[in-house]
Amino acid sequence: MTSIVAKGGEKSSSFPSVSVGIHKARCIKVIDLGTQKNDYQGNVSWKRQVLVIWETPDQTDDNSVPLTISKFYTLSLHEKSNLGIDLTSWRGRAFSETEKKGFDIAKLAGKECTLNVIQGNKNNKVGSVMPLAKGDKIAEQYHTSVVFDLKDFQNGKKEVFNQLSEGIRNIILRSKELDGLDQSDNGDENNGSNTVGQEPVPF
């Protein structure tokens, strides 16, 4: 009997990825993506999003450069939100009512943690974020810390924006805040790469 067998696509990436498992890590980038459109099964909503990127000193490329891994979050500290869950775990404590009124996530840049990296549909992804174990040491930071605030871009300050990868810049330019903006001057396309990488209570 003739059979026609469908198979899943092969994972293809020219960039090494952080392996599944527990890794010491440090947050190196906190990027304000603005309010992004979410279209799920025809239901359209708009949510303020951020991208957090970590480096993993124990996982390096052929040039001994630490690999990176990232996670997109809705900018919400609700106890059931991914950001709220991960930050509570990372800090090792719940947010106070005062903190919930306004917590500056720019504080994450440069902070150490432990990542639980799990297998995703296409690429490995951050499953959870935990404090660095007491007494654990981590290598010195390799990548420069970057914090991008959309308000800076809106005020004409594009230095940090120009350091971001083209892919991330394009996401930012699709935000509701920048809709209709003249994007003829949207950064130097030669800056950045075209990839998104990938104390217990210090903040």
pLDDT at 104: 93
Mean pLDDT by 10 residues, the chain (203 residues): 59 75 97 92 91 97 96 93 96 91 94 96 94 93 96 94 95 90 48 40 46
| DSSP of the chain | -------PPPP--SS--PPSEEEEEEEEEEEEEEEEEEEETTEEEEEEEEEEEEEEEEEE-TTSPEEEEEEEEES---TTSHHHHHHHHHHTSPPPHHHHT---GGGGTT-EEEEEEE--SSS-EEEEEEPPPTT---PPP-SPPEEE-HHHHHTT--HHHHHS-HHHHHHHHTSGGGTT--TTS---TTSS-S------S--
Residue 73 falls within a domain, yes or no?
A: yes
Looking at residue 184, its pLDDT comes to 47
Determine, yes or no, domain membership for 50: yes
> In this structure, is residue 167 part of a structural domain?
yes
Q: Residue 4's pLDDT is what?
A: 67
In a domain, 188, yes or no: no
The parent domain of residue 153 ranges over 27-178
pLDDT at 194: 36
- Residue at 6 is within a domain: no
pLDDT of residue 38: 86
Structural domain tally of the chain? 1
Structure confidence at residue 193 (pLDDT)? 38
Supply the pLDDT for residue 1: 60
Residue 74 lies in a domain: yes
The whole-model pTM stands at 0.83
In a domain, 200, yes or no: no
Residue 4 is assigned to a structural domain of this protein: no
